[in-house]
Amino acid sequence: MADARFKLISLHDSDNVLVALSAVGPGDVPLARGQILSLSAHVTLGHKVAARPISNGELVVKYGMPIGTATEDIPAGAHVHVHNIASRYTATHYRDEEAGLADE
Amino acid sequence: MSKTWQGYLRTDGRKGIRNTVAVVYLVECARFVADEITRAFRDQDVHLIGFPGCFPNDYAQHMMERLCTHPNVGGVLLVSLGCESFNRGKLAEVIEASGRPVETLVIQKTGGSAATIRSGQAQVKKTLAGIANVPRVEMTTQDLVVGTICGGSDGTSGISGNPAAGRAFDQLVAEGAACIFEETGELIGCEHIMAERAITPELGEALRETVAKAARYYDTLGYGSFAAGNATGGLSTIEEKSLGAYVKSGDAPISGIIKPGDIPPSGGLYLMDVVPDGEVRYGFPNIADNAEIVEMIASGAHMTLFVTGRGSVVGSALAPVIKICANPDTYEALSEDMDINAGAIISGTRDLDEVAEEILTAIHDTASGHHTASEAMGHQEFILTYKSFEPVGPACLPTK
């Protein structure tokens, strides 16, 4: 697979999460527009990280649309997934060992 | 300019892209016999479909009538045990009225398994010979019904495969095809933006109600339309999965709502309402991806676009499945099972328009007779289970 120029992509200007285009982190990751985001975890393709701090109870926004509510304070650069956000419709069921949370 | 190709003209006027004999078991007890009949024709267009239940069900009856008179189907062999509740007589009448050859074998009256298998194989041979010279007819995109589903979704589905499929859908709708998207349980969270695309305000309201019905239904069941593998692939909530899935409907106005087995009245984009009406009965609306594909086919889909991130390998009986892989790593691992590498959008070697163009080319090639990856390997998955529906309301299909 050809290397993408940036490993984290913002899908919409109002998003507070970025999507990994390949396995990335932990550590400093360059973003478009010359910024650097320091990831606290290793995340794989398709997973999300916080673009900025997200407070407990705040909406998590991807594609410019809310995809759920933060269930704890999420620092910038943290993995955003089933362990720290919840659906506003129906609960998410997953198998712990396979949810892609190995590093957390 | 729209491409043309040679299809198969049925007596009822419908045009197919395949010339298949359907061997149909009418209860699980007849499946083995029907399967044995089909196996003798592995390299020919003879497909096994059926309904496992012994209790009657209007939905299953209607679906089976639609499937057996699908434009890709040239002839039918019904295999009954004999004592099941399925109304085989009515099914045979509907098939006959469509002008397709149909025979019914009742195992209890034919001398048991071995005799029915022999008799069934002779029957299929006769039907294949009989439909070999079915008239050919010119087809264009305007004649096509195309469905889209996604399965084994992950965080890549919504950023590569689904938007590319959506762009291909826009082009098909512009050229006059009827396009169908579905899985209202995976549109939860998108109802408001979707309603704005309806061609009338009443239809917009009906779209919102359809998703609200799905949310209530899944809430009662205690599970959303969300599998463990979705979370592994980075999706965290049903609304995140929904937003990714929604984009495969493209940007065209929404012309109507249909239910499984309803044929789109004209070209345009339609939402299929797949969640049963009334109180929760019979369990999950669609127990696996092939149940969705079967409903697309029952509504006349000549083929189905299937966007996958985690990597589904399925095809389908009766109508080809074009598999669009959203995830570049999955594509590398399962490339023989995939028709389109939409993951190239993520790895940066193709853009969205280029992949949409590849999808359109694959649609035309498939319509012209070229086998998709799953078809070439002999995949013919099929599931039909119990459901119940009310007919669509008057707001669902506004006249244009």
Q: What is the pLDDT of residue B246?
A: 93
Kindly state whether residues B172 and B211 are assigned to the same domain. yes
Kindly state whether residues B186 and B117 are assigned to the same domain. no
- Rounded to the nearest integer, the mean pLDDT of chain B is 96
Residues of chain B positioned with their CB less than 8 A from the CB of A20: 155, 234
Q: E strands along B110-177, which residues?
A: 136-140, 145-150
Kindly state whether residues B119 and B188 are assigned to the same domain. no
The number of folded domains in chain B is 2
Kindly state whether residues B78 and B151 are assigned to the same domain. no
Q: Tens digits of per-residue pLDDT, B346-399?
A: 998 999 999 999 999 999 999 999 999 999 999 999 999 999 999 999 999 998
Domain with B120, as residue range(s), is 20-133
Kindly state whether residues B118 and B145 are assigned to the same domain. no
Helices B289-298 and B58-68 meet at what angle, rounded to 10?
A: 60
Q: What phi and psi values does residue B238 have, to the nearest 5 degrees?
A: -60, -40
Domain contains B4: no
Gap from A71 CA to chain B (nearest CA, Å): 12
Q: Which of B115, B133, B151 is where one domain is finished?
A: B133
The residue whose two tokens read 């069941």 is B221
The residues near B55 (Cβ < 8 Å, ≥ 6 apart) are: B85, B386
Domain contains B14: no
Among B63, B68, B130, CA closest to B95: B68
Gap from B223 CA to chain A (nearest CA, Å): 7
Among B348, B347, B346, B345, CA closest to B356: B345
Domain contains B7: no
Kindly state whether residues B112 and B168 are assigned to the same domain. no
Q: Which helix (H) or strand (E) holds B231?
A: helix B228-232
Domain contains B193: yes
Kindly state whether residues B103 and B180 are assigned to the same domain. no
Q: Tens digits of per-residue pLDDT, B315-347?
A: 999 999 999 999 999 999 999 999 999 999 999
Residues of chain B positioned with their CB less than 8 A from the CB of A62: 240, 243
Q: Looking at residue B105, which CATH number applies to its domain?
A: 3.40.50.2300
Burial class (CB in 10 A: 0-12, 13-18, 19+), B279: exposed
Q: Name which of A4, A67, A99 is nearest B237 (Cβ-Cβ).
A: A67
Kindly state whether residues B116 and B80 are assigned to the same domain. yes
Kindly state whether residues B171 and B197 are assigned to the same domain. yes
CATH number for A8-94: choose from 3.90.1150.10, 1.10.10.60, 3.40.190.10, 2.30.130.110.
2.30.130.110
Kindly state whether residues B332 and B213 are assigned to the same domain. yes
Q: Is B243 on the interface with A (CB under 8 A)?
A: yes
Domain contains B64: yes
Among B333, B316, B327, CA closest to B372: B316
Q: How far is B251 from B292, CA to CA, in rounded Å?
A: 22
Residues of chain A positioned with their CB less than 8 A from the CB of B156: 45-46
Question: Mean pLDDT throughout B113-122?
Answer: 98
Q: What is the ipTM of this complex?
A: 0.90
Return the bridge partners of B145, or none: B178
Residues of chain B positioned with their CB less than 8 A from the CB of A98: 228-229, 231-232
Return the bridge partners of B9, or none: B15
A contact residues 14-33, partner B, Cβ 8 Å cutoff: 19-22
